[in-house]
Amino acid sequence: MRENKPKGEVIFVGAGPGDPELITIKGSRALERADRVIYAGSLVNPDLLKLCRPGTPCHDSASLTLEEVAALMIEGTKRGETIVRLHTGDPSMYGAIKEQFDRLDQEEISYTVVPGVSSVFAAAAAVKREFTLPDISQTLILTRLAGRTPVPDREALTHLAQHQSSMAIFLSVQDMGAVVEALLEGGYPVSTPIAVVSKASWPDEEIVVGTLETIADKVNTAGIRKQAQILVGDFLDPAGGYARSKLYDPTFTHEFRQGKET
């Protein structure tokens, strides 16, 4: 009788922004039991691979195509392997995972996703700021500048800037001048505070702060060309003040506390 081999699975894991301690417990446990790892070598901290069992095959996907990545997954799962596909940050942001899901669906291969800490939140932590301040902004826009990957016209940075909300811009620091031009054209005042956080949470993290008037020159001087978050908005420097949160206001009543008149 032919023995049926158990069918393997693929686990997409968010590696976090860089600091190996910022991977989730669930993500680290997936790495610990993985039979094979396919990781984004140009972005993922290689120290995370130390969580794997000795001898675990680890494939750097930096030079691979979708077809080559899929072939590794299909080959391994046919052997009953648990494969970890290790993406930087959180896989759902610019992770190109949908096309991988589609290929696995075609082969009827089981897969799950473990979320990770995005670099956008590591950048906010680095500058010690909150995106959503009462009376300042209650909206955060995550976007990017159009490049070799196009952006729909309705999502052009100039259009999004009209909202004047908090904004985090991925994958765009190499065109900092174009970013500033689009933000100004969209209506942000030239005095709007802006921060660029390079390699948030890595040992060589670098923070450059300024305004829309000064930031392009500062980024150019710092030589930052990739792996950086651009944070824009008055949340960075709420010069006019902001309102306290209702949640902790002693006069505010909610399900767990009766407010007191002052």
In a domain, 147, yes or no: yes
> CA end-to-end span of the chain, whole Å?
81
Sign of CA dihedral 120, 90, 157, 149: positive
User: Residue 4 falls within a domain, yes or no?
Assistant: no
Q: What is the pLDDT of residue 252?
A: 62
Please report the pLDDT score of residue 2 as a whole number.
Answer: 47
pTM of the predicted model, to two decimals? 0.89
Are 35 and 90 contained in the same domain?
A: yes
Query: Is the same domain home to 74 and 162?
Result: no
Pairwise CA distance, residues 228 & 123, whole Å: 9
Range of the structural domain that residue 27 is part of: 9-114
- Are residue 220 and residue 123 in the same domain, yes or no? yes
- The domain total for the chain is 2
Could you tell me if residue 66 is inside a domain? yes
The radius of gyration of the chain's CA atoms, rounded to the nearest angstrom, is 22
Nearest CA among 205, 46, 183, 52 for reference residue 119: 205
Based on the fold, state whether residues 90 and 151 are members of the same structural domain. no
Q: What is the pLDDT of residue 1?
A: 40
User: Could you tell me which residues are beta bridge partners of residue 113?
Assistant: 12
What whole-number distance in Å separates Cα of residue 182 and Cα of residue 177?
9
Looking at the structure, do residues 198 and 107 belong to the same domain, yes or no? no
**What is the Cα–Cα distance from 103 to 110, expressed in whole angstroms?**
11
Query: What CATH number is attached to the domain comprising 110?
Result: 3.40.1010.10
Q: Please tell me whether residue 244 adopts helix, strand or coil conformation.
A: coil
Bridge partner list, 111: 10
Question: Domain for residue 251, yes or no?
Answer: no
83 plus 103 within the same structural domain: yes
Task: From first to last of the 262 residues of the chain, give the pLDDT tens digit.
Answer: 445 666 899 999 999 999 999 999 999 999 999 999 999 988 999 999 999 999 999 999 999 999 999 999 999 999 999 999 999 999 999 999 999 999 999 999 999 999 999 999 999 999 999 999 999 999 999 999 988 889 999 999 999 999 999 999 999 999 999 999 999 999 999 999 999 999 999 999 999 999 999 999 999 999 999 999 999 999 999 887 887 776 766 666 565 666 777 6
Domain at 127, CATH number? 3.30.950.10
Do 171 and 212 lie in one domain? The reply is yes
d(CA 191, CA 119): 25
Q: Is residue 254 part of a domain?
A: no
